[in-house]
Chains A and B, each alone.
Chain A
Protein backbone atom coordinates (compact mmCIF):
# COMPACT_ATOMS: atom_id res chain seq x y z
CA UNK A 1 0.00 0.00 0.00
CA UNK A 2 1.15 3.47 -0.81
CA UNK A 3 1.85 5.92 1.98
CA UNK A 4 -0.76 8.67 2.27
CA UNK A 5 1.12 10.51 5.01
CA UNK A 6 4.82 10.58 5.67
CA UNK A 7 6.29 12.31 8.68
CA UNK A 8 9.98 12.61 8.14
CA UNK A 9 12.37 13.39 11.01
CA UNK A 10 10.09 16.08 12.43
CA UNK A 11 11.51 18.18 15.23
CA UNK A 12 9.73 20.86 17.21
CA UNK A 13 10.73 22.94 20.19
CA UNK A 14 8.20 25.07 22.04
CA UNK A 15 9.43 27.75 24.43
CA UNK A 16 12.88 26.20 24.46
CA UNK A 17 11.51 22.77 25.31
CA UNK A 18 12.00 20.02 22.73
CA UNK A 19 8.57 18.42 22.23
CA UNK A 20 9.13 16.35 19.10
CA UNK A 21 12.62 14.96 18.76
CA UNK A 22 12.75 13.58 15.24
CA UNK A 23 9.47 11.80 14.61
CA UNK A 24 9.23 9.34 11.72
CA UNK A 25 5.88 7.89 10.76
CA UNK A 26 4.33 6.41 7.66
CA UNK A 27 0.58 6.03 7.39
CA UNK A 28 -0.55 3.82 4.51
CA UNK A 29 -3.57 4.62 2.42
CA UNK A 30 -6.66 2.78 3.60
CA UNK A 31 -5.42 1.73 7.03
CA UNK A 32 -6.40 2.54 10.57
CA UNK A 33 -3.13 3.54 12.15
CA UNK A 34 -3.09 3.90 15.92
CA UNK A 35 -0.62 6.16 17.69
CA UNK A 36 -0.22 5.02 21.26
CA UNK A 37 1.70 6.77 23.92
CA UNK A 38 1.47 8.10 27.45
CA UNK A 39 0.27 11.60 28.29
CA UNK A 40 2.80 14.17 27.23
CA UNK A 41 4.46 11.96 24.60
CA UNK A 42 3.75 14.55 21.91
CA UNK A 43 0.82 12.86 20.14
CA UNK A 44 -1.47 15.91 20.04
CA UNK A 45 1.42 18.13 19.03
CA UNK A 46 2.09 15.84 16.09
CA UNK A 47 -1.63 15.91 15.19
CA UNK A 48 -1.59 19.73 15.30
CA UNK A 49 1.38 19.83 12.94
CA UNK A 50 -0.37 17.52 10.48
CA UNK A 51 -3.47 19.78 10.41
CA UNK A 52 -1.61 23.07 10.89
CA UNK A 53 -3.66 24.14 13.91
CA UNK A 54 -2.70 25.84 17.18
CA UNK A 55 -0.14 28.03 15.42
CA UNK A 56 1.78 24.92 14.47
CA UNK A 57 2.00 25.40 10.73
CA UNK A 58 5.34 23.74 10.30
CA UNK A 59 7.99 21.91 12.31
CA UNK A 60 11.38 23.45 13.07
CA UNK A 61 12.83 20.82 10.78
CA UNK A 62 11.66 17.74 8.94
CA UNK A 63 8.89 17.15 6.45
CA UNK A 64 5.22 16.34 6.52
CA UNK A 65 4.17 14.87 3.19
CA UNK A 66 0.61 14.13 2.15
CA UNK A 67 0.28 12.12 -1.06
CA UNK A 68 3.66 13.25 -2.40
CA UNK A 69 2.95 16.89 -1.54
CA UNK A 70 4.95 18.70 1.10
CA UNK A 71 2.37 20.36 3.35
CA UNK A 72 4.72 22.17 5.74
CA UNK A 73 3.45 25.74 6.09
CA UNK A 74 0.14 25.16 4.29
CA UNK A 75 -3.02 26.84 5.60
CA UNK A 76 -5.56 24.73 7.46
CA UNK A 77 -8.21 25.27 4.78
CA UNK A 78 -5.81 24.18 2.05
CA UNK A 79 -4.90 21.02 3.93
CA UNK A 80 -8.62 20.31 4.39
CA UNK A 81 -9.14 20.82 0.67
CA UNK A 82 -6.44 18.24 0.00
CA UNK A 83 -8.53 15.85 2.08
CA UNK A 84 -7.08 16.06 5.58
CA UNK A 85 -9.17 16.73 8.67
CA UNK A 86 -8.88 16.39 12.40
CA UNK A 87 -11.16 15.72 15.35
CA UNK A 88 -10.04 17.50 18.50
CA UNK A 89 -9.80 15.69 21.77
CA UNK A 90 -11.97 18.46 23.26
CA UNK A 91 -14.12 19.67 20.38
CA UNK A 92 -15.19 23.31 20.14
CA UNK A 93 -18.70 24.39 21.11
CA UNK A 94 -20.69 26.57 18.75
CA UNK A 95 -23.48 28.90 19.79
CA UNK A 96 -26.53 28.94 17.53
CA UNK A 97 -25.38 26.19 15.17
CA UNK A 98 -27.44 23.01 15.05
CA UNK A 99 -26.04 19.51 14.68
CA UNK A 100 -27.72 19.29 11.29
CA UNK A 101 -26.10 22.52 10.10
CA UNK A 102 -22.75 21.43 11.43
CA UNK A 103 -22.92 18.08 9.66
CA UNK A 104 -24.07 19.73 6.43
CA UNK A 105 -21.23 22.22 6.57
CA UNK A 106 -18.75 19.42 7.18
CA UNK A 107 -20.19 17.36 4.36
CA UNK A 108 -20.86 20.10 1.88
CA UNK A 109 -18.55 18.50 -0.68
CA UNK A 110 -19.80 14.98 -0.07
CA UNK A 111 -22.42 14.22 -2.73
CA UNK A 112 -23.62 11.16 -0.82
CA UNK A 113 -24.10 12.98 2.47
CA UNK A 114 -26.75 11.42 4.72
CA UNK A 115 -26.74 13.29 8.04
CA UNK A 116 -29.13 10.89 9.76
CA UNK A 117 -26.92 7.94 8.91
CA UNK A 118 -23.83 9.80 10.20
CA UNK A 119 -25.58 10.27 13.53
CA UNK A 120 -26.77 6.68 13.69
CA UNK A 121 -23.25 5.42 13.07
CA UNK A 122 -22.04 7.23 16.19
CA UNK A 123 -25.00 5.98 18.23
CA UNK A 124 -27.18 9.12 18.16
CA UNK A 125 -30.70 9.27 16.79
CA UNK A 126 -32.18 11.88 14.48
CA UNK A 127 -33.62 13.87 17.40
CA UNK A 128 -30.09 15.27 17.72
CA UNK A 129 -30.32 17.06 14.38
CA UNK A 130 -32.08 20.04 15.92
CA UNK A 131 -29.85 20.22 18.99
CA UNK A 132 -27.27 22.98 19.16
CA UNK A 133 -23.56 22.12 19.08
CA UNK A 134 -23.12 24.23 22.23
CA UNK A 135 -22.64 23.40 25.88
CA UNK A 136 -26.10 21.85 26.12
CA UNK A 137 -24.51 18.67 24.71
CA UNK A 138 -22.70 16.47 27.20
CA UNK A 139 -19.01 15.80 26.66
CA UNK A 140 -19.71 12.35 25.24
CA UNK A 141 -22.46 13.63 22.93
CA UNK A 142 -20.22 16.38 21.65
CA UNK A 143 -17.47 13.86 20.87
CA UNK A 144 -19.92 11.70 18.96
CA UNK A 145 -21.14 14.68 16.94
CA UNK A 146 -17.51 15.43 16.11
CA UNK A 147 -16.98 11.92 14.81
CA UNK A 148 -20.26 12.19 12.88
CA UNK A 149 -18.97 15.36 11.25
CA UNK A 150 -15.90 13.47 10.03
CA UNK A 151 -18.14 10.77 8.58
CA UNK A 152 -20.10 13.58 6.92
CA UNK A 153 -16.98 15.10 5.41
CA UNK A 154 -15.55 11.76 4.27
CA UNK A 155 -11.94 13.01 4.05
CA UNK A 156 -9.00 11.10 2.66
CA UNK A 157 -7.19 11.26 6.00
CA UNK A 158 -8.82 11.76 9.39
CA UNK A 159 -6.66 12.46 12.42
CA UNK A 160 -8.69 11.51 15.48
CA UNK A 161 -7.22 12.78 18.73
CA UNK A 162 -8.36 10.43 21.48
CA UNK A 163 -11.74 9.56 19.95
CA UNK A 164 -12.37 7.24 22.90
CA UNK A 165 -11.92 9.81 25.66
CA UNK A 166 -15.11 10.99 27.34
CA UNK A 167 -16.98 8.03 25.87
CA UNK A 168 -18.18 5.45 28.35
CA UNK A 169 -16.65 2.05 28.23
CA UNK A 170 -19.87 0.30 27.17
CA UNK A 171 -20.06 2.42 23.99
CA UNK A 172 -16.48 1.78 23.02
CA UNK A 173 -17.55 -0.92 20.61
CA UNK A 174 -19.84 1.58 18.79
CA UNK A 175 -16.93 3.91 18.36
CA UNK A 176 -14.63 1.13 17.21
CA UNK A 177 -17.20 0.03 14.63
CA UNK A 178 -17.69 3.59 13.50
CA UNK A 179 -13.97 4.01 12.92
CA UNK A 180 -13.90 0.80 10.89
CA UNK A 181 -16.84 2.07 8.83
CA UNK A 182 -14.93 5.27 8.24
CA UNK A 183 -12.01 3.26 6.90
CA UNK A 184 -14.25 1.00 4.81
CA UNK A 185 -15.65 4.10 3.14
CA UNK A 186 -12.25 5.22 1.99
CA UNK A 187 -10.95 7.36 4.84
CA UNK A 188 -7.50 6.57 6.17
CA UNK A 189 -7.57 7.00 9.94
CA UNK A 190 -4.74 8.16 12.15
CA UNK A 191 -6.08 7.43 15.59
CA UNK A 192 -4.39 8.81 18.65
CA UNK A 193 -5.09 7.09 21.91
CA UNK A 194 -3.58 6.07 25.19
CA UNK A 195 -5.72 2.97 25.57
CA UNK A 196 -4.31 -0.18 24.01
CA UNK A 197 -7.79 -1.84 23.87
CA UNK A 198 -8.95 0.67 21.30
CA UNK A 199 -5.66 0.50 19.45
CA UNK A 200 -6.35 -3.16 18.78
CA UNK A 201 -8.85 -2.31 16.06
CA UNK A 202 -6.05 -0.71 14.08
CA UNK A 203 -4.29 -2.29 11.13
CA UNK A 204 -0.95 -0.98 12.36
CA UNK A 205 0.18 0.93 15.41
CA UNK A 206 2.97 3.25 16.42
CA UNK A 207 4.24 3.80 19.92
CA UNK A 208 5.41 7.26 20.90
CA UNK A 209 7.32 8.17 23.99
CA UNK A 210 8.95 11.46 24.93
CA UNK A 211 8.69 13.05 21.50
CA UNK A 212 9.98 10.04 19.61
CA UNK A 213 8.58 7.07 17.77
CA UNK A 214 9.68 3.91 19.52
CA UNK A 215 8.11 1.24 17.37
CA UNK A 216 5.70 0.76 14.50
CA UNK A 217 4.05 -2.54 13.73
CA UNK A 218 1.37 -4.99 14.71
CA UNK A 219 -1.13 -3.31 17.09
CA UNK A 220 -1.15 -6.26 19.50
CA UNK A 221 2.62 -6.16 19.91
CA UNK A 222 2.77 -2.40 20.12
CA UNK A 223 -0.14 -2.43 22.58
CA UNK A 224 1.64 -5.02 24.69
CA UNK A 225 4.79 -2.94 24.80
CA UNK A 226 2.77 0.12 25.70
CA UNK A 227 1.01 -1.77 28.47
CA UNK A 228 4.12 -3.18 30.03
CA UNK A 229 6.45 -0.26 29.58
CA UNK A 230 4.40 2.94 29.39
CA UNK A 231 1.29 2.62 31.50
CA UNK A 232 3.14 2.75 34.77
CA UNK A 233 5.73 5.15 33.45
CA UNK A 234 5.12 8.86 33.85
CA UNK A 235 6.38 10.50 30.70
CA UNK A 236 9.48 8.86 29.36
CA UNK A 237 10.81 5.43 29.86
CA UNK A 238 14.60 5.36 29.53
CA UNK A 239 14.37 1.71 28.52
CA UNK A 240 12.45 2.82 25.42
CA UNK A 241 14.12 6.03 24.43
CA UNK A 242 17.49 5.62 26.03
CA UNK A 243 18.83 7.40 29.09
CA UNK A 244 19.92 10.97 28.68
Chain B
Protein backbone atom coordinates (compact mmCIF):
# COMPACT_ATOMS: atom_id res chain seq x y z
CA UNK B 1 0.00 0.00 0.00
CA UNK B 2 1.24 3.47 -0.80
CA UNK B 3 2.08 6.35 1.46
CA UNK B 4 -0.14 9.34 2.01
CA UNK B 5 2.11 11.42 -0.24
CA UNK B 6 1.48 9.15 -3.21
CA UNK B 7 -2.25 9.22 -2.56
CA UNK B 8 -2.23 13.02 -2.33
CA UNK B 9 -0.40 13.37 -5.63
CA UNK B 10 -2.82 11.02 -7.38
CA UNK B 11 -5.83 12.69 -5.75
CA UNK B 12 -4.73 16.10 -6.97
CA UNK B 13 -4.35 14.93 -10.57
CA UNK B 14 -7.66 13.07 -10.62
CA UNK B 15 -9.63 15.87 -8.99
CA UNK B 16 -8.19 18.20 -11.61
CA UNK B 17 -9.94 16.23 -14.38
CA UNK B 18 -13.25 16.21 -12.57
CA UNK B 19 -13.35 13.32 -10.11
CA UNK B 20 -15.47 14.32 -7.13
CA UNK B 21 -13.30 15.63 -4.27
CA UNK B 22 -15.46 13.84 -1.77
CA UNK B 23 -14.21 10.48 -2.97
CA UNK B 24 -10.78 11.33 -1.59
CA UNK B 25 -11.76 13.50 1.35
CA UNK B 26 -14.19 10.96 2.70
CA UNK B 27 -12.06 7.93 1.80
CA UNK B 28 -14.74 6.41 -0.37
CA UNK B 29 -12.54 4.06 -2.36
CA UNK B 30 -12.65 0.34 -1.81
CA UNK B 31 -9.90 0.00 -4.38
CA UNK B 32 -7.73 2.61 -6.05
CA UNK B 33 -5.18 1.61 -8.65
CA UNK B 34 -2.67 3.94 -10.33
CA UNK B 35 -1.29 2.20 -13.42
CA UNK B 36 -0.16 -1.11 -11.85
CA UNK B 37 0.02 -0.04 -8.22
CA UNK B 38 -2.67 -0.61 -5.64
CA UNK B 39 -2.88 2.62 -3.66
CA UNK B 40 -5.99 2.08 -1.59
CA UNK B 41 -7.69 -1.13 -0.66
CA UNK B 42 -10.54 -1.26 1.77
CA UNK B 43 -12.93 -4.19 1.75
CA UNK B 44 -16.70 -3.72 1.52
CA UNK B 45 -18.90 -5.93 3.68
CA UNK B 46 -19.94 -9.15 1.92
CA UNK B 47 -17.53 -8.53 -0.95
CA UNK B 48 -14.44 -10.73 -1.19
CA UNK B 49 -11.73 -9.72 -3.59
CA UNK B 50 -8.32 -10.70 -4.82
CA UNK B 51 -6.13 -8.10 -6.47
CA UNK B 52 -2.82 -8.98 -8.10
CA UNK B 53 -0.41 -6.36 -9.45
CA UNK B 54 1.03 -7.33 -12.84
CA UNK B 55 3.85 -5.65 -14.80
CA UNK B 56 1.32 -3.57 -16.75
CA UNK B 57 -1.73 -3.35 -14.54
CA UNK B 58 -3.86 -5.40 -12.19
CA UNK B 59 -5.94 -8.55 -12.16
CA UNK B 60 -8.95 -8.58 -9.90
CA UNK B 61 -11.43 -11.19 -8.82
CA UNK B 62 -14.48 -10.10 -6.93
CA UNK B 63 -17.04 -12.31 -5.30
CA UNK B 64 -20.17 -10.81 -3.83
CA UNK B 65 -21.55 -13.24 -1.27
CA UNK B 66 -25.10 -14.44 -1.91
CA UNK B 67 -27.74 -12.26 -0.30
CA UNK B 68 -25.39 -9.29 0.20
CA UNK B 69 -27.29 -6.05 0.03
CA UNK B 70 -25.36 -2.81 0.12
CA UNK B 71 -26.83 0.67 0.36
CA UNK B 72 -23.58 2.38 -0.57
CA UNK B 73 -21.92 1.61 -3.89
CA UNK B 74 -18.65 -0.30 -3.92
CA UNK B 75 -16.25 2.32 -5.26
CA UNK B 76 -13.28 1.47 -7.42
CA UNK B 77 -10.85 3.52 -9.45
CA UNK B 78 -8.51 2.35 -12.16
CA UNK B 79 -6.46 5.28 -13.28
CA UNK B 80 -3.20 6.62 -14.50
CA UNK B 81 -1.66 9.72 -13.01
CA UNK B 82 1.25 9.66 -15.45
CA UNK B 83 1.95 8.55 -18.99
CA UNK B 84 2.65 4.87 -19.32
CA UNK B 85 2.81 2.78 -22.44
CA UNK B 86 0.09 0.31 -21.63
CA UNK B 87 -2.21 -0.41 -18.80
CA UNK B 88 -3.92 -3.78 -18.72
CA UNK B 89 -6.74 -4.53 -16.37
CA UNK B 90 -8.50 -7.84 -16.15
CA UNK B 91 -11.39 -8.59 -13.90
CA UNK B 92 -13.97 -11.11 -12.93
CA UNK B 93 -17.02 -10.27 -10.90
CA UNK B 94 -19.44 -12.83 -9.54
CA UNK B 95 -22.56 -11.54 -7.89
CA UNK B 96 -24.01 -14.30 -5.74
CA UNK B 97 -27.64 -15.38 -5.67
CA UNK B 98 -30.03 -12.75 -4.36
CA UNK B 99 -27.37 -10.11 -3.80
CA UNK B 100 -28.08 -6.46 -4.61
CA UNK B 101 -25.04 -4.29 -5.18
CA UNK B 102 -23.85 -1.36 -7.18
CA UNK B 103 -20.26 -0.80 -8.30
CA UNK B 104 -19.13 2.68 -9.13
CA UNK B 105 -15.96 2.45 -11.15
CA UNK B 106 -13.92 5.51 -12.02
CA UNK B 107 -11.54 5.46 -14.93
CA UNK B 108 -9.27 8.44 -14.47
CA UNK B 109 -6.64 9.45 -16.99
CA UNK B 110 -4.79 12.52 -15.78
CA UNK B 111 -4.47 15.71 -17.82
CA UNK B 112 -2.00 15.50 -20.67
CA UNK B 113 -1.01 11.86 -20.40
CA UNK B 114 -0.88 9.31 -23.18
CA UNK B 115 -1.87 5.74 -22.61
CA UNK B 116 -3.14 2.53 -24.13
CA UNK B 117 -5.60 0.89 -21.83
CA UNK B 118 -6.83 -2.64 -22.34
CA UNK B 119 -9.56 -4.02 -20.18
CA UNK B 120 -11.33 -7.35 -20.05
CA UNK B 121 -14.15 -8.02 -17.69
CA UNK B 122 -16.27 -11.08 -16.99
CA UNK B 123 -19.45 -10.68 -15.05
CA UNK B 124 -21.83 -13.31 -13.67
CA UNK B 125 -25.01 -12.15 -12.05
CA UNK B 126 -26.56 -15.16 -10.36
CA UNK B 127 -30.24 -15.97 -9.91
CA UNK B 128 -32.38 -13.20 -8.37
CA UNK B 129 -29.38 -10.89 -7.97
CA UNK B 130 -29.23 -7.23 -8.97
CA UNK B 131 -26.02 -5.69 -10.14
CA UNK B 132 -25.37 -2.19 -11.39
CA UNK B 133 -21.99 -1.40 -12.85
CA UNK B 134 -21.40 2.29 -13.43
CA UNK B 135 -18.24 2.83 -15.40
CA UNK B 136 -17.46 6.54 -15.25
CA UNK B 137 -14.59 7.81 -17.33
CA UNK B 138 -12.73 11.02 -16.73
CA UNK B 139 -10.11 12.23 -19.18
CA UNK B 140 -8.42 15.58 -19.45
CA UNK B 141 -8.94 17.83 -22.48
CA UNK B 142 -5.31 17.17 -23.46
CA UNK B 143 -5.31 13.50 -22.51
CA UNK B 144 -5.03 10.90 -25.20
CA UNK B 145 -6.22 7.43 -24.39
CA UNK B 146 -6.60 4.42 -26.61
CA UNK B 147 -9.16 2.40 -24.75
CA UNK B 148 -10.10 -1.12 -25.67
CA UNK B 149 -12.59 -2.64 -23.30
CA UNK B 150 -14.61 -5.82 -23.49
CA UNK B 151 -17.23 -7.00 -21.07
CA UNK B 152 -18.89 -10.37 -21.19
CA UNK B 153 -21.80 -10.91 -18.89
CA UNK B 154 -24.07 -13.75 -17.95
CA UNK B 155 -27.36 -12.67 -16.40
CA UNK B 156 -29.02 -15.48 -14.51
CA UNK B 157 -32.64 -16.33 -13.93
CA UNK B 158 -34.66 -13.35 -12.74
CA UNK B 159 -31.44 -11.40 -12.30
CA UNK B 160 -30.83 -7.78 -13.29
CA UNK B 161 -27.65 -6.33 -14.72
CA UNK B 162 -27.19 -2.72 -15.72
CA UNK B 163 -23.93 -1.54 -17.16
CA UNK B 164 -23.39 2.14 -17.82
CA UNK B 165 -20.38 3.56 -19.61
CA UNK B 166 -20.13 7.31 -19.28
CA UNK B 167 -17.54 9.72 -20.51
CA UNK B 168 -18.99 13.16 -20.57
CA UNK B 169 -16.02 15.46 -20.15
CA UNK B 170 -12.61 15.72 -21.74
CA UNK B 171 -11.63 13.82 -24.85
CA UNK B 172 -12.76 10.31 -25.61
CA UNK B 173 -9.58 9.46 -27.51
CA UNK B 174 -9.65 6.28 -29.52
CA UNK B 175 -12.20 4.03 -27.95
CA UNK B 176 -13.51 0.57 -28.59
CA UNK B 177 -16.17 -0.58 -26.19
CA UNK B 178 -17.69 -4.03 -26.56
CA UNK B 179 -20.41 -5.24 -24.23
CA UNK B 180 -21.90 -8.71 -24.51
CA UNK B 181 -24.61 -10.27 -22.43
CA UNK B 182 -26.40 -13.59 -22.38
CA UNK B 183 -29.65 -13.34 -20.49
CA UNK B 184 -31.43 -16.24 -18.85
CA UNK B 185 -35.10 -16.76 -18.01
CA UNK B 186 -36.79 -13.52 -16.80
CA UNK B 187 -33.40 -11.85 -16.53
CA UNK B 188 -32.83 -8.24 -17.56
CA UNK B 189 -29.74 -6.69 -19.16
CA UNK B 190 -29.48 -2.94 -19.63
CA UNK B 191 -26.53 -1.40 -21.46
CA UNK B 192 -26.13 2.36 -21.60
CA UNK B 193 -23.32 4.23 -23.27
CA UNK B 194 -22.95 7.98 -23.08
CA UNK B 195 -19.98 9.64 -24.69
CA UNK B 196 -18.73 12.79 -26.26
CA UNK B 197 -16.04 12.81 -28.94
CA UNK B 198 -14.03 15.88 -29.90
CA UNK B 199 -11.28 16.76 -32.39
CA UNK B 200 -10.20 13.56 -34.14
CA UNK B 201 -11.54 11.14 -31.52
CA UNK B 202 -12.69 7.76 -32.71
CA UNK B 203 -15.50 5.98 -30.94
CA UNK B 204 -16.67 2.45 -31.57
CA UNK B 205 -19.38 0.98 -29.39
CA UNK B 206 -20.80 -2.50 -29.79
CA UNK B 207 -23.60 -3.90 -27.64
CA UNK B 208 -24.57 -7.51 -28.16
CA UNK B 209 -27.42 -9.00 -26.19
CA UNK B 210 -28.57 -12.60 -26.47
CA UNK B 211 -31.98 -13.06 -24.94
CA UNK B 212 -31.80 -16.79 -24.39
CA UNK B 213 -34.25 -17.26 -21.55
CA UNK B 214 -38.04 -17.10 -21.62
CA UNK B 215 -39.33 -13.61 -20.88
CA UNK B 216 -35.85 -12.20 -20.67
CA UNK B 217 -35.40 -8.54 -21.51
CA UNK B 218 -32.64 -6.44 -23.00
CA UNK B 219 -32.20 -2.72 -23.48
CA UNK B 220 -29.30 -1.21 -25.32
CA UNK B 221 -29.23 2.55 -25.21
CA UNK B 222 -26.54 4.84 -26.53
CA UNK B 223 -26.07 8.57 -26.68
CA UNK B 224 -23.03 9.75 -28.58
CA UNK B 225 -22.22 13.37 -29.24
CA UNK B 226 -19.74 13.83 -32.06
CA UNK B 227 -18.00 17.20 -32.33
CA UNK B 228 -15.29 18.49 -34.71
CA UNK B 229 -13.87 15.60 -36.77
CA UNK B 230 -14.99 12.77 -34.53
CA UNK B 231 -15.72 9.40 -36.06
CA UNK B 232 -18.33 7.43 -34.15
CA UNK B 233 -19.92 4.08 -34.78
CA UNK B 234 -22.54 2.35 -32.73
CA UNK B 235 -23.43 -1.27 -33.40
CA UNK B 236 -26.30 -2.68 -31.39
CA UNK B 237 -27.25 -6.31 -31.84
CA UNK B 238 -30.06 -7.96 -29.98
CA UNK B 239 -31.03 -11.58 -30.52
CA UNK B 240 -34.46 -12.67 -29.39
CA UNK B 241 -33.98 -16.41 -29.04
CA UNK B 242 -36.60 -17.37 -26.49
CA UNK B 243 -40.36 -17.26 -26.04
CA UNK B 244 -41.78 -13.88 -25.03
CA UNK B 245 -38.42 -12.21 -24.66
CA UNK B 246 -38.29 -8.44 -25.36
CA UNK B 247 -35.44 -6.35 -26.61
CA UNK B 248 -35.06 -2.72 -27.53
CA UNK B 249 -32.20 -0.77 -29.06
CA UNK B 250 -32.29 2.99 -28.71
CA UNK B 251 -29.42 4.90 -30.19
CA UNK B 252 -29.14 8.56 -30.79
CA UNK B 253 -26.10 10.32 -32.14
CA UNK B 254 -25.84 14.05 -32.24
CA UNK B 255 -23.51 15.69 -34.68
CA UNK B 256 -22.04 19.11 -34.19
CA UNK B 257 -19.71 20.14 -36.98
CA UNK B 258 -19.36 19.53 -40.70
CA UNK B 259 -16.55 17.02 -40.48
CA UNK B 260 -17.95 14.35 -38.20
CA UNK B 261 -18.63 10.85 -39.44
CA UNK B 262 -21.23 8.89 -37.54
CA UNK B 263 -22.82 5.55 -38.12
CA UNK B 264 -25.51 3.64 -36.25
CA UNK B 265 -26.11 -0.01 -37.00
CA UNK B 266 -28.98 -1.61 -35.15
CA UNK B 267 -29.28 -5.34 -35.80
CA UNK B 268 -32.30 -7.19 -34.55
CA UNK B 269 -32.66 -10.92 -34.96
CA UNK B 270 -35.61 -12.92 -33.74
CA UNK B 271 -35.66 -16.71 -33.58
CA UNK B 272 -38.91 -17.26 -31.78
CA UNK B 273 -42.32 -16.20 -32.99
CA UNK B 274 -43.29 -14.80 -29.58
CA UNK B 275 -40.11 -12.77 -29.19
CA UNK B 276 -40.10 -9.08 -29.97
CA UNK B 277 -37.13 -6.82 -30.58
CA UNK B 278 -37.52 -3.20 -31.60
CA UNK B 279 -35.11 -0.41 -32.38
CA UNK B 280 -34.95 3.32 -32.89
CA UNK B 281 -31.95 5.11 -34.28
CA UNK B 282 -31.54 8.81 -34.78
CA UNK B 283 -28.63 10.73 -36.16
CA UNK B 284 -28.87 14.45 -36.50
CA UNK B 285 -27.86 17.81 -35.30
CA UNK B 286 -29.17 19.24 -32.07
CA UNK B 287 -32.90 19.69 -32.01
CA UNK B 288 -33.67 23.20 -33.14
CA UNK B 289 -36.67 23.75 -30.97
CA UNK B 290 -34.71 22.74 -27.86
CA UNK B 291 -31.97 25.13 -28.85
CA UNK B 292 -34.32 28.02 -29.61
CA UNK B 293 -36.24 27.47 -26.38
CA UNK B 294 -33.13 27.90 -24.27
CA UNK B 295 -31.98 30.85 -26.37
CA UNK B 296 -35.37 32.47 -25.83
CA UNK B 297 -34.57 32.25 -22.10
CA UNK B 298 -31.36 34.20 -22.71
CA UNK B 299 -28.76 31.45 -23.13
CA UNK B 300 -26.26 31.86 -25.94
CA UNK B 301 -26.22 29.17 -28.60
CA UNK B 302 -23.10 27.56 -27.11
CA UNK B 303 -24.55 27.58 -23.61
CA UNK B 304 -27.75 26.04 -24.93
CA UNK B 305 -25.84 23.31 -26.78
CA UNK B 306 -23.93 22.50 -23.61
CA UNK B 307 -27.09 22.20 -21.53
CA UNK B 308 -28.74 19.94 -24.11
CA UNK B 309 -25.67 17.74 -24.57
CA UNK B 310 -25.04 17.33 -20.84
CA UNK B 311 -28.70 16.39 -20.45
CA UNK B 312 -28.44 13.70 -23.10
CA UNK B 313 -25.28 12.34 -21.54
CA UNK B 314 -26.68 12.30 -18.06
Interface residue ranges, A against B (CB under 8 Å): 51, 53-54, 75-77, 79-81, 84-86, 88, 91-97, 105-106, 108-109, 149, 153
Partner of A80, one of B287, B295, B310: B295
Residue of chain A at shortest CB distance from B304: A77
Instruction: Assess the A105–B296 pair: CB atoms within 8 A.
Output: no
A92-B287, A92-B289, A94-B290 are contacts. A105–B297 as well, Cβ < 8 Å?
yes
Instruction: Assess the B298–A96 pair: CB atoms within 8 A.
Output: no
Complex alpha-carbon distance, A77 and B312, angstroms:
22
Which residues of B (91-137) have their CB < 8 Å from a CB of A? none
Interface mask (B222-264 → A, CB under 8 Å = 1, otherwise 0): 0100000000000000000000000000000000000000000
Instruction: Assess the B295–A76 pair: CB atoms within 8 A.
Output: yes
Given A77-B295, A81-B298, 10 extra CB contacts under 8 A: A51-B292, A80-B296, A91-B293, A92-B289, A92-B293, A96-B312, A97-B311, A105-B297, A105-B299, A149-B297
Pick the most buried of B289, B293, B312: most chain A CB atoms within 10 A of its CB.
B293
Partner of B311, one of A88, A96, A153: A96
Instruction: Assess the B310–A96 pair: CB atoms within 8 A.
Output: yes
Min C-beta distance of A167 to chain B, whole Å:
19
Which applies to chain B's interface (DSSP): helix, strand, loop or mixed? helix
A88-B289, A92-B289 are contacts. A80–B298 as well, Cβ < 8 Å?
yes
Pick the most buried of B287, B292, B297, B308: most chain A CB atoms within 10 A of its CB.
B297
Complex alpha-carbon distance, A106 and B312, angstroms:
19
Q: Mind listing 19 A-B residue pairs with CB under 8 Å?
A: A75-B295, A76-B296, A77-B295, A79-B296, A80-B295, A80-B298, A80-B299, A88-B289, A92-B287, A92-B290, A95-B223, A95-B312, A96-B311, A96-B312, A96-B314, A97-B307, A105-B299, A106-B297, A153-B297
Min C-beta distance of B61 to chain A, whole Å:
35
CB of B300 closer than 8 Å to a CB of A: yes
Partner of B294, one of A84, A105, A109: A105
CB of B301 closer than 8 Å to a CB of A: yes
Interface mask (B270-312 → A, CB under 8 Å = 1, otherwise 0): 0000000000000000010110111111111100000110111
Complex alpha-carbon distance, A76 and B304, angstroms:
12
Q: Which residues of B contact A149 (CB under 8 A)?
A: 297
Instruction: Assess the B313–A96 pair: CB atoms within 8 A.
Output: yes
Complex alpha-carbon distance, A54 and B293, angstroms:
11
Q: Which residues of B contact A75 (CB under 8 A)?
A: 295
Pick the most buried of B289, B298, B311, B313: most chain A CB atoms within 10 A of its CB.
B298
Partner of A85, one of B223, B287, B297: B297
Min C-beta distance of B312 to chain A, whole Å:
5
Complex alpha-carbon distance, A106 and B293, angstroms:
10
